Structure 1
Amino acid sequence: MLPRAYDSQHCSIAATLEIVGDRWTLLILREASRGVTRFADFQHTLGLARTVLSDRLGRLTEHGVLERHRYQERPERFEYLLTSKGAELWPVLNALMTWGDKHIMADLPPVVVRHNDCGGSIDSHRICRTCHSPVELHDVYREPGPGALPVPGRG
């Protein structure tokens, strides 16, 4: 069994896994890349325990992947914004999503990532399939894909 920490390994992948290598952290990053910033919204969309969310947000903030900003004084409340360092993880998230779309979701993606400029879908290399432009996180929007679950209350 692998140890929980990778201290004995002099490896960039292992060092990165120390920060982002569990499913909740990756899902927090997915939500942050979609524009979620507030603790309650992360908790609502992900359904995880407050203690786990607080721990993961703290770790991501400590490592400069997210920045914590107060948006309300009484009661004191904070939001968590992706830094440029955090936004650089979007290619990893996009690659995981496109791999899952192909190999797990049987090419019926629940979400389609589209290019802001032309509406084309984005491939695993972050290239627009329509205009062939390279795209970054700020260049895209998301919409329900053919594998999206129906929204309750909508026929």
Structure 2
Amino acid sequence: MIENNIDAEQYIYENTCHSVQEAASAANASPKDIIKSICLIDNNGNLIVAIVKGADRVSTSRVAKALNIEIPKTATPEEILDKTGYICGGVPSFGYEAIFLIDPKVMENELVYTGGGSPYSLTKISTKVLHQINKGQIVRVRK
């Protein structure tokens, strides 16, 4: 973040932030402020990251329709590490090569918390900056 001059704050906690509840508790924030990066793989091996609010689930059929592709599969923990450089449970919503899809509900918040690179960290970032740096397409991907 410093290297690329990204306006965001990273926080490291003693407890894990793997679940939405854990993340909200660690950040002393509402679960509505937590977003998830769901990693998917298309038939060509490309990484697709569907970004939704913490309580929402991703619809792979909506992702497929948005990108005009066959339904992608959920990435394995090994694929996530290989394609993002981060372990499952700490993947940020930016900072690596992927096709990013941002659900419109995410953009309703001014600030959100996303993965911070490990299960023990979060990054607080404005949704405008997030959208700008990951060049995500804003499209409904939640169920």
TM-score by length of 1: 0.26
Looking at both structures, which has the greater relative contact order when contacts are Cα pairs under 8 Å and sequence separation is at least 6? 2
| Greater Rg by CA | 1
TM-score by length of 2: 0.28
Bigger proportion of residues as helix: 1
